[in-house]
Amino acid sequence: MLDPLPLTIPHAAQAAAKAWPDAPAVIEGEVTWTFAELWQHSRAAASALLARGVKAGDRVAIWAPNRREWIVAAVATMSLGAAVVTLNTRLKGREAGDILRRTHARLLFTVTDFLGIDYQALLADEDLPDLREVLMLDVGFDAFLASGKGAGDAAVDAALAAIDADTISDILFTSGTTGSPKGVLMTHGRVLPQCGVWIGNTGLSFGDRYLIANPFFHSFGMKVGWVACLLSGAVAVPMSQFDVAEAITLIEKLKISFFPGPPTVFQMILAEKDKRPIDTSSLRGGTTGAATVPPVLVQRIRDDLGMKNIITAYGMTECVNITSCRPGDPAETIAQTCGAAIPGNEVIVADDAGNEVPRGETGEILVRGQGVMLGYLDDPEATAEAIDAQGWLHTGDVGTMDELGYVRITDRKKDLYISGGFNVYPAEVEKLLSVHPAIAMVAVVGVPDERMGEVGKAYVVLRPGASASEAELIGWSRENMANYKVPRSVAFVADLPRNASGKVLKTELRDDSVA
């Protein structure tokens, strides 16, 4: 790993190019870029952005699947002291437009097509007064690189010299219980130390071939994905979306050695291995989490896939890493806990007053330390609600801590559920659904699902005289929100259960859906 730790993410790309100029940095299809080539492309892109007037403090958005040009666009943006705003590839135009407006994004990098989606067309009806230009990563990118003064542009060096650990690196959006997505402000100095600890815990090493199926727009795919590769000298192998057959092909063909993913990913690969011979002998390490992990699965990942260094970890957009298991921890510990506080973090389990509870007792998980976000974009009230006066970030997750400091998550304090590894906040889905002309009131809860973990169920009260079918509302939802937010079922009810103060009793709805 690079030592000492670079000041910023672009400085990490620069240092990697100096330390390992001819080593492969990215492999995508038939294309391989060395660390030197990756840095040269990033410098040329930075010069092209300078030619377009991008400067320190600006925001540049990226709305695209994992690909090598995504990394270049991000490193180039950060090199100028501008912040990267990432957009989930599943967002619809209304959701993306809201984020672009709130961040005052000057430029947008996207693609002409992904899974049949024309992202630029989705924005056709959005009012985006600050957006100057839309640039494509999949078509004409070489022309974009050539539109500045090239990799040797001295102005890039001047811009790079002006950024430091306190410069805002990125703004990733996470939804809140208010129903409005919140922009998480991160600085380089908050990201890189966390990545360094994660690399140490996972054993990610120079030359490891790291299959990155976690999306780059997410903290995992970006920070402990390609940024971790820059720090460790590992080779990033991006996947635009997870496909089990393609993943197996890449594992066998490229001798993938490092592969993180949620439990379902490993279950799918193991299911394929049960059907036919698969060569997974190159696999060595990775991480899993984001859901309960059966101990037998951890054992099978180790024994049947050969991943002896598999561990579980816990993090969130507001703090990249919170806890982590360590290499050598028993399978039972890895399966049933999400590890102990990583170096640089303090973690406690607290009661509603913020007081630490005795070990083994249940409370909210709080974290304080180097990786906690700067705050929420333009939202001091939400920031103060999330980070208390003592600097503790209230995660909203409920759990316990054992005598060794290992944390087990048992519940979620905030009103959210996890569907296919994505956090879904019912309040946001309800806000989007309430726009539908037939809906008077709606409440959304998460219900168990064998494949996705949980999926949404909407309880809908129709307006007087209005009519709508389950299929119609689900179809409308697919057109107006990211597919992981779309309720998978709809129940039409005369009214919603409420308490004396008028608050909807979602516990009753959940009990009804399970009954």
Q: What angle do CA 446, 449, 454 make, to 5 degrees?
A: 35
Q: What's the pLDDT band for 409 if we cut at 50, 70, 90? A: confident
Where does residue 326 rank: exposed (0-12), middle (13-18), buried (19+ CB within 10 A)? Answer: middle
Rounded-to-integer distance, Cα 137 and Cα 140, Å: 7
Whether the CA torsion 90, 95, 100, 102 is positive or negative: it is negative
Rounded-to-integer distance, Cα 206 and Cα 3, Å: 13
Mean pLDDT value across residues 48-76? 98
Q: What's the pLDDT band for 263 if we cut at 50, 70, 90? A: confident
Answer yes or no: is pLDDT of 291 > 60.
no
Answer yes or no: is pLDDT of 511 > 90.
no
Q: What's the pLDDT band for 513 if we cut at 50, 70, 90? A: low
Rounded-to-integer distance, Cα 129 and Cα 509, Å: 42
Task: Share the mean pLDDT of the chain.
Answer: 92
Preceding peptide of 4 cis, ω within 30° = yes
Where does residue 93 rank: exposed (0-12), middle (13-18), buried (19+ CB within 10 A)? Answer: middle
- Percent of the chain at pLDDT above 70? 96
- Percent of the chain at pLDDT above 90? 75
Instruction: Assess contact for 362 and 350: CB atoms under 8 A.
Output: no
What is the C-alpha radius of gyration for the chain, rounded to an integer number of angstroms?
A: 23
Q: What does the block give as tokens for 79?
A: 């090199």
Spans of all domains in the chain:
9-194, 242-412, 417-514
Answer yes or no: is pLDDT of 404 > 80.
yes
The alpha carbon of residue 374 and the mean position of all alpha carbons in its chain are separated, in whole angstroms, by: 17
Answer yes or no: is pLDDT of 422 > 50.
yes
Q: Does domain 9-194 have CATH number 3.40.50.10470?
A: no
Mean pLDDT value across residues 385-391? 95
Q: Which CATH class is domain 417-514?
A: alpha beta
**Are both 9-194 and 242-412 of the same fold?**
yes
Structure letter (DSSP) for residue 227: I
Q: What is the pLDDT of residue 292?
A: 57
Q: What is the pLDDT of residue 332?
A: 82
Q: What is the pLDDT of residue 177?
A: 40
Q: What does the block give as tokens for 193?
A: 């130390």
Q: Of 421, 422, 439, which is closest to residue 430 (Cα–Cα)?
A: 439
In this predicted structure, which of 258-272, 285-299, 347-361 has the lowest mean pLDDT?
A: 285-299
Q: What is the pLDDT of residue 289?
A: 74
Answer yes or no: is pLDDT of 49 > 70.
yes
Segment 109-145, tens digit of pLDDT: 999 999 999 999 999 999 999 999 999 999 999 999 9
Q: What is the pLDDT of residue 324?
A: 94
In this predicted structure, which of 47-51, 148-152, 308-312, 498-502 has the lowest mean pLDDT?
A: 498-502
Q: What does the block give as tokens for 263?
A: 């439990």
Q: What angle do CA 116, 121, 126 make, to 5 degrees?
A: 140
Q: Does domain 242-412 have CATH number 3.90.950.10?
A: no
In this predicted structure, which of 3-17, 139-153, 486-500 has the lowest mean pLDDT?
A: 486-500
Q: Residues 340-343: contacts with CB within 8 Å, 24+ apart?
A: 340/404, 340/405, 340/406, 340/407, 341/367, 341/369, 341/405, 341/407, 342/194, 342/197, 342/198, 342/201, 343/197
Q: What is the pLDDT of residue 515?
A: 46
Segment 247-256, tens digit of pLDDT: 999 999 999 9
Q: What's the pLDDT band for 298 if we cut at 50, 70, 90? A: confident
Residue 422 phi, psi (nearest 5): -105, 135
Buried b (16+ CB within 10 A) or exposed e, 144-172: bbebbbebebeebeebbeebebebbbbbb
Segment 482-502, tens digit of pLDDT: 999 999 999 999 988 876 545
